[in-house]
Chains A and B, each alone.
Chain A
């Protein structure tokens, strides 16, 4: 399956700052990537679908102006959490879809102080 990396693996920031998380597909050209959020002891919740060369599709209840997604190439999608607040602290995971299954990155732990 596809190999996916994320950077950084963890980040701590102050409230009000913006944080960018990168998701890279290392061995597959992905037209579609997904961004998930996972709160402690909860399952994954899909935030948005990232489409290469076009606007992302956001799930209901996810603020598109707060979670900016850019999928500028077939191997890179970025998620920027703007004006982060403590309630945005979570585990963010991306995945790549290879027309059959999804393959997940190792995740990014965001802590907002």
Chain B
């Protein structure tokens, strides 16, 4: 059974800092990996999607990397802003079942002024 873990569980940084969120998964036979953002009491916003054949994806200040063989992904946020404060979730889909997501435990990020 796939298990997805995110470290740290919570993080507080001052505005302007660069930061890294970590995601690890136990079964490397994945189809793709997605990073999501969730604001309190809200749904999920897809940030980045990395196919299993890719190493990284970039969108604005966000960069996600994938090392499938070691079962790890990182989300790098450059020049953090208070508006980045949210919970960040990673999720993987299993190879052969491209649609079913297994979510990580989440990292609650607080960017302070």
- A95–B34 Cα distance when bound, in Å, is 14
Which residue from B41, B99, B104 sits with its C-beta under 8 Å from A43? B104
A-binding segment of B14-22, B42-50, B68-76, B77-85: B42-50
A-contact 0/1 string along B70-113, CB 8 Å cutoff? 00000000000000000001000000001111111110000000
A1 and B46 contact, CB distance less than 8 A: yes
Known: A102-B34, A102-B101. A43 touches B89 (CB 8 A): yes
A32 and B104 contact, CB distance less than 8 A: no
- A91–B40 Cα distance when bound, in Å, is 11
Closest to B99 in A: A97
B residues near A45, Cβ cutoff 8 Å: 103
- A100–B101 Cα distance when bound, in Å, is 12
Which residue from B43, B49, B103, B104 sits with its C-beta under 8 Å from A100? B49
B46 and A106 contact, CB distance less than 8 A: no
Closest to A59 in B: B100
- A104–B101 Cα distance when bound, in Å, is 12
The B-contacting residues of A in range 1-59, CB under 8 angstroms, are: 1, 4, 6, 32, 34, 43-46, 49
Closest to A32 in B: B99
Which residue from B32, B41, B46, B100 sits with its C-beta under 8 Å from A46? B100
A103 and B104 contact, CB distance less than 8 A: no
A residues near B49, Cβ cutoff 8 Å: 100-101
A94 smallest CB distance to B (angstroms)? 9
A residues near B106, Cβ cutoff 8 Å: 43
B residues near A64, Cβ cutoff 8 Å: none
Closest to B36 in A: A104
- A97–B100 Cα distance when bound, in Å, is 9
A residues near B102, Cβ cutoff 8 Å: 46
18 example contacts (A-B, Cβ-Cβ < 8 A) are as follows A1-B46, A4-B43, A32-B99, A43-B104, A45-B103, A49-B100, A91-B41, A95-B44, A97-B99, A100-B32, A101-B34, A101-B49, A102-B46, A102-B101, A104-B44, A104-B46, A106-B43, A107-B41
Interface set of B (CB-CB < 8 Å, partner A): 32, 34, 36, 41-46, 49, 89, 98-106
